[in-house]
Amino acid sequence: MSCRVPHRPAILPLALASVFACSLPALADQPDTLGQVVVTAPAMEAPLTVTTDPRAPRQPVPAHDGADYLKNIPGFSVIRKGGTDGDPVFRGMAASRLGILLDGEMILGGCGMRMDPPTAYVFPEAFDRITVLKGPQTVKYGPGNSAGVVLFERTPKVRSGYSAYADASLLVGNFGRNDQVFEAGVGNERFYGEITGTHSHAQDYRDGKGRSVHSAYDRWSNNGALGWTPDADTRLELTFARSDGRAAYADRTMDGVKFDRTNVGLKFEKQRISPLLAKLEAQVYHNYVDHVMDNYTLRTAPMMKMVSNPDRQTQGGRIAATLDLSPRTSLETGLDFQRNEHTLRTASGAAVASYASKPRVADMQFSSWGAFAEAAHELDATHRLLGGARIDFNEAEDKRSGRSTSGQTAKDTLKAGFVRWENAYAPTTTLFAGLGHSERAADYWERNKSPAATAMATGSASTFLPKPEKTTQLDTGAIYAAGPLRASVSAFYAKHKDFIQIRRIDAYASDATNIDATTYGLEGDLSYRIATFWQTYATLAWTHGENDSTGKPLSQIAPLEARLGAGYDDRTWSGGALLRLVQGQKRYDTNYGNIVGQDIGSSAGFAIFSINGGYRPAKGTLITAGIDNLFDKTYAEFISRGGASIGGFTQTTRVNEPGRTLWLKATFELR
């Protein structure tokens, strides 16, 4: 039996995009922006910073969500649950330890079992770039980001004089995969308008043994922006977004049949106000997520039908000023705030037909506001010092009834800060070292662990919250670029006090406890151009974790991974090959982990080989194709969720990865 997700027509079909693109006047002053054909491992080009183009074709071909795009960056892994909506993990840290911001906005999912992490609402090709900031080495993007921050960002395409543009792409592949993306905009030096539409569809994929995996999905999104630029230094922008989808899950007894997101935001920016005040920016936003999961729409209905309908409303804002204190010193300081409320309604049996008429019941409410300051000072021509500090006031209220913690309000004062030294040792080399500290309050999922289950397992009453988590981390590394060689390495060592760990008690209950832990590891990348059109590259990522409280390995740590590749690109034809090598993981702690998943046991190592090719028939047109997992290897990631028993499908220890996958992508630009 195979799960069939209904195919929803693309919101803005490629045919319409192509007609529109061909009807626009050519913009002779705009270069062809199509870059590297296939991006397999974005490099670190600035200290602790990785930036990648989400619109570039890449291998392995990702699902149309944020997590799958991140997994190509060294240090990232994804907890697989099905065909889409996996949870990103960076250096062994998952969920709210990794900040996810969409144009500066925070979005939080509703599912109590992480069916919809923030990246489930990210459609990467609707953005212009993805930036990863490693470790607690910035204080500008909210509290608790101990692992790092991921920024999905757009750049308004404002021009002088009237102009219009359109871009489109189409991707097709086996297992019923097909994606469509369309973007268009018009404007002049005073006003602009932009709209982006995306759609992605896939049926159940098969693993290397030909076994069907319950993994079909269908997703769509619309994003728009209206901007006013009265002068070259001022911008006022109104943004809006709407998206939805459905997805089958191979790791649980329910599927996601609704992922409805509604967004509106307003942003103001003014630059070069005075010799002291270089920039002033302000932003407010509203995000609403309405999520539905059930056990009968996308799979054979059981005897007892069940449906769950959580929602979450998140409102926030930020105001910041950048000051040029001297020719060598700049300071960014500001305030940010965020408030969100989570509600839930459920039904079973015959009542599922009318669940939408039931009242929503709030179970938790959160609010926080913080102040931050981050400075950069040029010590001399080759040395730079950066540092920052922030304080946050966090409040969480338990609105659940019938719990020992009902009506309790937890208040935490969270502190964070960092200092980093950077040195341009030579024109070819940059060295850096930084020490950072971050504190994180327990999130919705960690607070939502059943007090009754904890009391049964331990004989003691549960509290509403574990203690706030505190991370102190040293980050260091180097970047080298000279001639045909480019290389970078970043290493870290972290002590986690009151680290929040999740223990699975049984199939229905788990609890949260505080432990002390240590993690350390590194990421590296290297590329070498062996001839004018030929380039080789390699990446390495390794993380080691220890539970200092028990002496056992820290759970949910992905094993050592390396990637080796070579590529050819003469700006007309291109081709490449990728070998991904992953070591087996023998260090685990069964039934312990994070809010997404817990360790199952050891995993085997594997090697996956993939190839790709590309052709540019004309300026602004790129056609690429590839075969992922060329030799049809059967394998699963160590941190994958366990496979569930689903009628018509073979249950596996972990959710297996796709087998041999063929894909073809065409991209068109007119700028």
DSSP state of 573: E
- What is the C-alpha to C-alpha distance for residues 342 and 116, in angstroms, rounded to an integer? 14
Q: Are 294 and 304 in contact (CB under 8 A)?
A: no
Residue 404, exposed/middle/buried by CB under 10 A (0-12, 13-18, 19+)?
Answer: middle
Residue 402 C-alpha from the chain's centroid: 35
Count of CA atoms in the C-beta half-sphere (13 A) of 465? 21
The pTM of the full predicted model, rounded to 2 decimals, is 0.93
Q: Which two tokens stand for residue 523?
A: 């990421």
- What is the C-alpha to C-alpha distance for residues 292 and 295, in angstroms, rounded to an integer? 11
- What is the C-alpha to C-alpha distance for residues 578 and 38, in angstroms, rounded to an integer? 10
C-beta neighbour count of 19 within 10 angstroms: 12
> CA-CA-CA-CA torsion for 434, 544, 558, 468, nearest 10 degrees?
-60
Q: What is the 3-state secondary structure (H, E, C) of 356-383?
A: HHCCCEEEEEEEEEEEEEEEEEECCCCE
Residue 535 C-alpha from the chain's centroid: 28
- What is the C-alpha to C-alpha distance for residues 469 and 595, in angstroms, rounded to an integer? 14
Counting residues of the chain whose pLDDT is more than 90, the rounded percentage is 84
- What is the C-alpha to C-alpha distance for residues 322 and 273, in angstroms, rounded to an integer? 10
Q: Which two tokens stand for residue 456?
A: 């049964």
Residues 419-441 have pLDDT tens digits of 999 999 888 999 999 999 999 99
Residue with tokens 């159940």: 204
pLDDT value of residue 37: 55
C-beta neighbour count of 650 within 10 angstroms: 13
- What is the C-alpha to C-alpha distance for residues 533 and 575, in angstroms, rounded to an integer? 10
pLDDT value of residue 17: 34
Count of CA atoms in the C-beta half-sphere (13 A) of 272? 5
Residue with tokens 């900040």: 99
Identify which of 294, 239, 312, 291 has the alpha carbon closest to the alpha carbon of residue 85.
291
- What is the C-alpha to C-alpha distance for residues 294 and 312, in angstroms, rounded to an integer? 18
Residue with tokens 């052709």: 615
pLDDT value of residue 42: 78
- What is the C-alpha to C-alpha distance for residues 539 and 579, in angstroms, rounded to an integer? 11
pLDDT value of residue 69: 93
In sequence order, the 6+-apart residues with CB closer than 8 A to the CB of 593 are 501, 502, 504, 555, 556, 599
Q: Enumerate domains of the chain plus CATH numbers.
A: 14-670 (2.40.170.20)
Q: Are 599 and 589 in contact (CB under 8 A)?
A: yes
- What is the C-alpha to C-alpha distance for residues 469 and 497, in angstroms, rounded to an integer? 6
pLDDT value of residue 30: 40
Q: Which residues of the chain have pLDDT under 70?
A: 1-41, 158, 450-465
